[in-house]
A and B are shown apart, each in its own frame.
Chain A
Amino acid sequence: SQQGEEDPQALSIQEGENATMNCSYKTSINNLQWYRQNSGRGLVHLILIRSNEREKHSGRLRVTLDTSKKSSSLLITASRAADTASYFCATADPFPNDYKLSFGAGTTVTVRA
């Protein structure tokens, strides 16, 4: 199965700044999801964007999807110390393999006070 690749691997920003990270994948997808993981803990779902959607918002989060470029971006606006975490994209292949979710290696975000 395919695996998304996040870029950059690590990101350090000042509190209040925006953070942008990207995810690229190899084959067509059914949907793409973003998750957050605080150090060593379970992943928490942030946003799911379907292949026929181009942009989605949730609070300070904005996700875009460009299926022609096979890429997605996650923007966190007005970052806070609590946003310090690793962020993962996950892709679901189209039917009939849409029961499998493949994760990338993640982007580690550090928000400095």
Chain B
Amino acid sequence: EAQVTQNPRYLITVTGKKLTVTCSQNMNHEYMSWYRQDPGLGLRQIYYSMNVEVTDKGDVPEGYKVSRKEKRNFPLILESPSPNQTSLYFCASSFWGGAHNEQFFGPGTRLTVL
């Protein structure tokens, strides 16, 4: 089944404790991205990747890191999480051209930073 998977789905952590949210897609998509969703603000793009080893900042990259060593995986890293990073996170992927095509979204990761 074609899908985007994220893990974990739920995470409660404490300020400053490094964490990684994994994202994997099985559709051979070149474009992958991370969004955070906060009430009243819609989805805001954190980082995106056009292809392996090619990443760039979205609209709200501060406090986040990403890497794209393999085509299928695009992990989101929070080196030192803070309470303002409490949010619902979505990974998405699409064929080449990113915004030219429909995005396939993962199920989301609900993160709480205490």
Report whether over half of chain B's contact residues are helix, strand or loop; otherwise say mixed.
strand
Chain A interface residue bracket vs B: 20 to 34
Q: How many residues of B contact A (CB 8 A)?
A: 31
Of A1, A88, A93, the residue contacting B43 (CB under 8 A) is A88
Task: Specify which chain B residues have a CB less than 8 angstroms from the CB of A99 in the assembled complex.
Answer: 31, 48, 50, 56, 97-99
Give 5 nearest A-B pairs by CB, closest first.
Answer: A92-B99, A42-B105, A45-B102, A99-B98, A103-B43
- Enumerate chain A interface residues (CB-CB to B < 8 A): 1, 3, 30-31, 33, 35, 40-45, 48, 88, 90, 92-93, 98-106
- CA distance in complex: A103, B103 (Å): 12
Task: Specify which chain B residues have a CB less than 8 angstroms from the CB of A88 in the assembled complex.
Answer: 42-43
Against A, the Cβ 8 Å flags (1 = close, 0 = not) of B49-68 are 01000001011000000000
Of A35, A45, A100, A104, the residue contacting B58 (CB under 8 A) is A100
Interface contact B98-A43, CB-CB below 8 Å: no
Known contacts A3-B42, A101-B103: does B48 contact A42 (CB below 8 Å)? no
B40, B42, B103, B104 pick with most chain A CB within 10 angstroms: B42
Known contacts A3-B42, A105-B41: does B106 contact A100 (CB below 8 Å)? no
